[in-house]
Amino acid sequence: MAKRPAGTLYRGKLGMWTWVLHRITGVGIYFFLLVHILDTALVRVSPEAYNSVVASYKTEIIGIAEIGLVAAILFHAFNGIRIILIDYWRKGAKYQHQMFWIVLAIWVILMAGFVPRQLMHIFGA
């Protein structure tokens, strides 16, 4: 049986699913950004207003949600670099799958550093 072509860049397999994930993480980060600009704007209102709202970021539930936020940001960031390389590097499209595994490796390493640190901050004394 003849070997089937690996599909085009964004149609099927890794190319498509990373594209989907890039969009989903992007939307999530966008809505957090809106909230984050508004909460930071409270420093212009009063120290009490800012401190009381930022206190909600220090709760256990939001602290854990922040791990999801950082996970989304790190994927979007390094997959974005992969997209730029696919677009501009001569061999980018050829190595798009290998580049995905590099993205995943960087993501795992950075998350392995971040998650324990964040859990210590949230649950630590």
Partner 1 sequence: MAVIIEQPDAPRSRKGAQWEKRAWIFMRISGFILVFMIIGHLSVNLVLPEHGVKAIDFAFVAGKWASPFWQVYDGILLWLALIHGTNGMRTLVNDYSEREWLRKTLNITLWVVAATLIVLGTLVITTFDPCIDPNVHNYLPDLVCKA
Of the residues 5, 47, 61, 90, which one makes contact with partner 1 according to CB under 8 A: 47
**Radius of gyration of the chain measured on its C-alpha atoms:** 19
Cα(9)–Cα(16) distance, integer angstroms: 7
Q: Does 51 bind partner 1 (CB under 8 A)?
A: yes
Backbone angles phi, psi at 85, to 5 degrees: -65, -40
Q: Does 63 bind partner 1 (CB under 8 A)?
A: yes
Q: Does 54 bind partner 1 (CB under 8 A)?
A: yes
Q: Does 115 bind partner 1 (CB under 8 A)?
A: no
User: Based on CB atoms, which residue is closest to partner 1, 1 or 8?
Assistant: 8
**Which residue carries 């290998």 as its tokens?**
98
Backbone angles phi, psi at 9, to 5 degrees: -55, -50
Whether the Cβ atoms of residue 26 and residue 76 lie closer than 8 Å to each other: yes
Q: Scanning residues 73 to 102, which ones bind partner 1 (CB under 8 A)?
A: 73, 77-78, 80-81, 83-84, 87-88
Report in angstroms how near the CB of residue 97 gets to partner 1 at its nearest: 21
